[in-house]
A and B are shown apart, each in its own frame.
Chain A
């Protein structure tokens, strides 16, 4: 069983949080800058109209040459390219000032108008583009046209946009860097928790999730899980204790039952019907005792206390021995038992006798479920420096849906097969494999039947 792998980046909760934070920040900055822009440009627009209006009122008090002089003087103080004026006669012909013609579309009504395109000229000292303009009828019958560029507001816009750009860049860049730093630490801790959880899943219920001194959410979660594990472990131990007690209590009565039945049989006449019945009963008792011993054996193997007995041994003699032991059984059932091994196989670390038992069980099952004329192959493979043992048969195979279930105690293949059950055999196999930390995989063989693959290498935690 493998736990969900934590994603490397985008899906982690800190990434999501930072992404949300960044986008909110950008949106908020945009709104702020927009409002600022709107307010500032409205204010500046007002200011420019006011200044135009003031000039208009100022020059209304002058007449004749006084006006010409005042205008010429004011021009020296005007900002080039921003303010300009033109004095025109009654026929709108230019008299003086930088403006050589009245801007097109400017009504001669003495009121301020905003023009999109005020002066068509190449003179860089004249305002171009949008402007506010006003044409005033002077007391001596001339037209005074005053123009003020309001395009300088574009400059403000540019400044604000630049500020916005920098603000967003300075938010996004440190945000990405911060995201990198922030997501790594929780991920490291999650990986620590995952490693512990895998040890627990693998059967070590005494293991607990690691806690840090920070008392944050992860610690709270780990503490909750640890409390849960505590309870589960206690329950498991209680159940196991009860099972062990039942098992222990049953041993003696079973021994007595078998002994007494046997004694009654010996006292009965050998050919009487009673003796036959007793034989049947004794044989049932033997089956019962065998099953019982099998169950006890599995529970011992699950206690995982036998690793001390592990040795390094060569797999080839083991496979050869298995082949020798089971060949007569195969031939009796008109089956072929093939041993396919390379010249050398990497050594296995484990309990040789237990692995012999496990493989014997697998072979025994393969032979049981393969019809006469079929073929069973015992194969050793050097797989990337460790030994892999395959048991292949040409029997009916194990349906995919049942592959996980066959290792449960007393599992029977569905479909009313007469050949009997796997009984405890495969559960013992599973217990032995688990004890070694090896991996057993059920698949389909190229012969059409089942393939059981034993990888004789302790599986690294996922």
Chain B
């Protein structure tokens, strides 16, 4: 079972993070100050760290920098009350793997944790093809097929499908999709992502076949084996 270290000084927020991550089947340890957090993180027993940017005693940014300097490569999700546009860049540049601004939705936080955990999975990283039911995506030739019928995908559609399939079974928020596929960090409005998903759907879920992409009301999208 993956182990998560949560470094967060606000007790209520921490309780919510712990509760949410535990409900996803993760084992979570909570530390409420930077000094102890750093000591535990260095021990390297964790698969992922959620890190508050502003902490008493030792600042979140300093913790990331120290960990990376020490060669600890545990994925880090930074959670910050500082939404400053530059702050995000600074956090990621220091070695954070993802950045979430308060106020945040706990399900989105959990989704980001899951995505980070999968990304770091060595076995998955070496894959040359992704498969969901009869949908196949060849990562080398960059070709997709559904039920042995080749699909012609535009570059954006390919990136979108790859992101969904790398996180099979994982609900991905529109914001996460926009950030990952297009690389921008602002709210593009719900419509835009919906339309792009709609186009992809038309290609991979033609009438007559079991739909693989599901819309999760209020949360986002997921690609999964049909139940």
A residues with a Cβ closer than 8 A to B are 248, 250-252, 254-256, 258-260, 262-263, 266, 279, 282-283, 286, 289-290, 292-294, 296-297, 300-301, 305-306, 308-309, 324-326, 328-329, 332, 353-354, 356-357, 360, 364, 428
Taken together as a complex, chains A and B put the C-alpha atoms of A292 and B85 apart, in Å, by 15
Taken together as a complex, chains A and B put the C-alpha atoms of A143 and B150 apart, in Å, by 148
Do B105 and A258 touch (CB < 8 A)? yes
Do A364 and B189 form a contact, CB below 8 Å, given A258-B106, A289-B103? yes
| A284 → chain B closest CB, angstroms | 10
Taken together as a complex, chains A and B put the C-alpha atoms of A60 and B171 apart, in Å, by 142
**B19, closest chain A residue (CB):** A263
B residues with a Cβ closer than 8 A to A are 10, 12-13, 16, 19-20, 23, 81, 83-86, 89, 101-107, 156, 182, 184-189, 191-192, 195-196, 198-199, 217-218
**B156, closest chain A residue (CB):** A324
B-chain residues with CB within 8 Å of residue A300 when the two chains form the complex:
83-85
Instruction: Sample 25 A-B pairs with CB under 8 A, ordered by A number.
Output: A251-B102, A252-B13, A252-B81, A254-B103, A256-B13, A259-B20, A260-B16, A262-B20, A262-B107, A286-B218, A293-B103, A293-B187, A297-B83, A297-B85, A300-B83, A306-B85, A309-B86, A309-B89, A328-B195, A329-B192, A329-B195, A332-B195, A353-B185, A357-B186, A428-B186
Question: Residue among A248, A293, A294 with the most chain B CB within 10 A?
Answer: A293
Do A353 and B184 touch (CB < 8 A)? yes
Give me 10 other A-B pairs in contact (C-beta within 8 A), A251-B103, A300-B84, A301-B85 excluded: A251-B102, A252-B13, A259-B16, A259-B19, A262-B105, A306-B86, A309-B86, A325-B156, A328-B195, A364-B192
Taken together as a complex, chains A and B put the C-alpha atoms of A68 and B107 apart, in Å, by 143
Residue among B84, B182, B198, B217 making CB contact with A325, cutoff 8 Å: B182
Total CB contacts across the A-B interface at under 8 A: 100
B-chain residues with CB within 8 Å of residue A297 when the two chains form the complex:
83, 85, 186
Residue among A254, A279, A306 making CB contact with B218, cutoff 8 Å: A279
Taken together as a complex, chains A and B put the C-alpha atoms of A325 and B155 apart, in Å, by 12
| A253 → chain B closest CB, angstroms | 8
Do A293 and B83 form a contact, CB below 8 Å, given A255-B104, A329-B192? yes
| B88 → chain A closest CB, angstroms | 11
Taken together as a complex, chains A and B put the C-alpha atoms of A178 and B78 apart, in Å, by 70
* Secondary structure call for the A interface: helix
| B155 → chain A closest CB, angstroms | 9
Question: Residue among B12, B105, B198 with the most chain A CB within 10 A?
Answer: B105
Which 5 pairs across A and B sit closest by C-beta, in order of nearness? A254-B103, A259-B16, A259-B106, A251-B102, A255-B103
| B100 → chain A closest CB, angstroms | 10
Taken together as a complex, chains A and B put the C-alpha atoms of A309 and B83 apart, in Å, by 16
**A330, closest chain B residue (CB):** B195
Do A252 and B188 form a contact, CB below 8 Å, given A289-B105, A332-B198? no
**B178, closest chain A residue (CB):** A325
Do A279 and B192 touch (CB < 8 A)? no
Taken together as a complex, chains A and B put the C-alpha atoms of A77 and B113 apart, in Å, by 131
Taken together as a complex, chains A and B put the C-alpha atoms of A248 and B83 apart, in Å, by 10
**B154, closest chain A residue (CB):** A324
Do A255 and B13 touch (CB < 8 A)? yes
Do A294 and B13 form a contact, CB below 8 Å, given A263-B20, A266-B23? no
**B185, closest chain A residue (CB):** A353
**B12, closest chain A residue (CB):** A256
| A16 → chain B closest CB, angstroms | 52
A-chain residues with CB within 8 Å of residue B102 when the two chains form the complex:
251-252, 254-255
Do A329 and B16 form a contact, CB below 8 Å, given A262-B105, A279-B218, A296-B83? no
A-chain residues with CB within 8 Å of residue B156 when the two chains form the complex:
324-325
Do B12 and A252 touch (CB < 8 A)? yes
| B90 → chain A closest CB, angstroms | 11
Question: Residue among B85, B105, B107 with the most chain A CB within 10 A?
Answer: B85
